[in-house]
Amino acid sequence: MRLVLFKTSAFRLSVSYTLLVMAAVGSTLGSAYLLTQSLITDEVDLIIEAELKGLEEKYAQSGVSGLTEEITLKVDSWGRVGAIYLLVDPGFQKIAGNVTRWPFEGMPRENWPEFEIATIEPGRRSAHPVRAAVRTLPGGDRLLVGTDISQGRRWADKFRIATLRGIGLTILAAALAAFWFSFRLSRRVSDVTETCQRIMAGDLGRRLPVVGANDEFDAMATSVNSVLDRLEDQARTLRATFDSAAHDLRAPLHRLRTRMDALLLRAPELKLEPAVYDSIESALVEVDRLQRTLATLLQIALAESGAALASPVAVDVGQLAGELVELFEPVAREAGLTLVGTQSAGLIVHGNRQLLAQLITNLIENALKYVPAGGRIEVSVTEQGEDVRVEVTDNGPGIPADDRARAVQPFARLSHAVTPDSSGLGLSLVAAIARLHRARLSLENNSPGLRVVLDLPRAAAR
């Protein structure tokens, strides 16, 4: 299983973290921008109001003529750059000021109307934004006082661009950090996953990487590794025990067999009675059966220990099943049974070819043993999503539902299993080999008969 970066929890965490940072930085800088802008306009408004107040007082003291004089004076005096004055009569005709005409249709509705004026500066025309306030004087004349706010606008624009840049950079930095973080995290996790898979595949000597960062991953790897050490140790002890048990059981069996063999070879010179010869021969058959049971037990132990997958090879399961069906077909025909196989080609499983062959052989032999003459046995290998499905079905007596789980346990003798020479190990070896290959094994009712379904994980395309 390959980890997809975008699906990891580390990536999701980083994305939410990035979004959080974006929101925080955005709102901070956004409110700073709004605050600054309102501070600028507030100051402008205060100046305009103070100016209006002064001019209204002048009007109260000396009427329209005094006010006109005052405005003309203010307009002419340099140093008050950007101040706008306009006094109009009730018909909005200009009386005095530095704007040529009333910029609105009648009275503006807002308290602080904004408009643009065209100014003629040496060499170029430009439009300037103006913020203004308007008062209706007791005589019906109207007074407008405003300020050129292009400076403030420019300032606000600069501030806005700086803010947006800041937010952008923050997001970029956060996203990069998040990506790096999740990449690093998922790489370490996938290291662990990969190692575990290799160990499960039989490479018992492998350990999780400890990078020396003294972080939680190292702590986890260290304790997992000590568990693995323990397990490997046990597997090794088990293997050694089985090896010596195998040796200690096989050596006397071997001597026994060799002695009997020697007797048979010397039968003519010893003038053995045919009855004696026959019973020695049948004793040899028993020795061979004993040896086969022992071999199966050892094979189960080996499969359970995982060591049998130390060097897996690519096995074309369809082809293997086809060969085995071909091998068993004449035997089935002699027993009055029909054995047919259907296989798709190119379904590859990584595993131990001999053990997989043994597995399919055991399933076929099992069916041959229990299905009465006239029956039918089918072996099929098909693609089932990510798996290769091996199915062996027959229309024999089947296994009662209560017995099915027990059937795969060693030495299980089922109520209907009456064949004297069955060791009762065939299906447990099947189960052990299936477990070794991380396959799902299920025994089902074929009504009538038995259906054994084995789903082997398919080898990834290389």
Partner 1 sequence: MHILLIEDDTEAARFLINGLRESGYTVDHAADGREGLFRITEGSYDLVVTDRMLPHLDGLAIIQLMRQKGIATPVLVLSALGTVDDRIRGLKAGGDDYLTKPFAFAELLARIEALMRRTSGVPDATRLKVGDLDLDLLARRVTRGGREIELTARELKLLEFLMRRAGQVVTRTMLLEGVWDLHFDPQSNLIDVHISRLRQAIDRGAERPLIHTVRGSGYVLRLDP
Binding site for partner 1 (CB under 8 A): 243, 246-247, 250-251, 253-259, 261-262, 264-265, 284, 287, 291-292, 295, 298-299, 302, 307-308, 310, 323, 326-328, 330-331, 334, 352-355, 357-358, 361, 365, 368, 421
* Cβ at position 200, least distance to partner 1 in Å: 17
Is the Cβ of residue 158 or residue 333 nearer to partner 1 in the bound state?
Answer: 333
Instruction: Measure the CA–CA gap between 220 and 210, rounded to whole angstroms.
Output: 9
Is the Cβ of residue 12 or residue 292 nearer to partner 1 in the bound state?
Answer: 292
Asked if 370 and 397 touch (Cβ cutoff 8 Å), the reply is yes
* Cβ at position 317, least distance to partner 1 in Å: 15
Residue 326 one-letter amino acid? E
Residue 240 one-letter amino acid? A
Tell me the C-alpha to C-alpha distance, in Å, between residue 94 and each of 90, 103, 142, 312, 452: 10, 11, 10, 100, 104
Count, in order, helices (H) and strands (E) of the chain: 9, 12
Is the Cβ of residue 132 or residue 433 nearer to partner 1 in the bound state?
Answer: 433
Asked if 344 and 383 touch (Cβ cutoff 8 Å), the reply is yes
* Cβ at position 288, least distance to partner 1 in Å: 8
Transcribe 391-455 into DSSP letters.
Answer: EEEE-S----HHHHHHHTSTT---TT---TT--S-HHHHHHHHHHHTT-EEEEEE-SSSEEEEEE
Tell me the C-alpha to C-alpha distance, in Å, between residue 137 and each of 91, 183, 362: 13, 72, 112
Is the Cβ of residue 152 or residue 375 nearer to partner 1 in the bound state?
Answer: 375
* Cβ at position 351, least distance to partner 1 in Å: 12
* Cβ at position 234, least distance to partner 1 in Å: 18
What are the structure tokens assigned to 284, written together?
Answer: 């040899």
Is the Cβ of residue 291 or residue 446 nearer to partner 1 in the bound state?
Answer: 291
* Cβ at position 196, least distance to partner 1 in Å: 22
**Backbone phi and psi for residue 63, each to the nearest 5 degrees, phi listed first:** 70, -165
Instruction: Measure the CA–CA gap between 258 and 271, rounded to whole angstroms.
Output: 19
Is the Cβ of residue 246 or residue 453 nearer to partner 1 in the bound state?
Answer: 246
* Cβ at position 178, least distance to partner 1 in Å: 48
* Cβ at position 406, least distance to partner 1 in Å: 22
Is the Cβ of residue 287 or residue 459 nearer to partner 1 in the bound state?
Answer: 287
Q: Beta strand 142-148 with 124-136: parallel, antiparallel or unpaired?
A: antiparallel
Torsion of CA 229, 231, 232, 234, to 10 degrees: 120
Instruction: Measure the CA–CA gap between 144 and 108, rounded to whole angstroms.
Output: 11
Q: 426-436 vs 353-370: helix axis angle to the nearest 10?
A: 150
Asked if 143 and 67 touch (Cβ cutoff 8 Å), the reply is yes
Torsion of CA 236, 238, 239, 245, to 10 degrees: 150
* Cβ at position 393, least distance to partner 1 in Å: 19
Instruction: Measure the CA–CA gap between 150 and 157, rounded to whole angstroms.
Output: 10
What are the structure tokens assigned to 318, written together?
Answer: 């369809």
Asked if 88 and 102 touch (Cβ cutoff 8 Å), the reply is yes
Instruction: Measure the CA–CA gap between 411 and 423, rounded to whole angstroms.
Output: 7
Is the Cβ of residue 279 or residue 445 nearer to partner 1 in the bound state?
Answer: 279
* Cβ at position 408, least distance to partner 1 in Å: 18
* Cβ at position 16, least distance to partner 1 in Å: 50
Is the Cβ of residue 211 or residue 240 nearer to partner 1 in the bound state?
Answer: 240
Is the Cβ of residue 198 or residue 440 nearer to partner 1 in the bound state?
Answer: 198
Is the Cβ of residue 211 or residue 340 nearer to partner 1 in the bound state?
Answer: 340
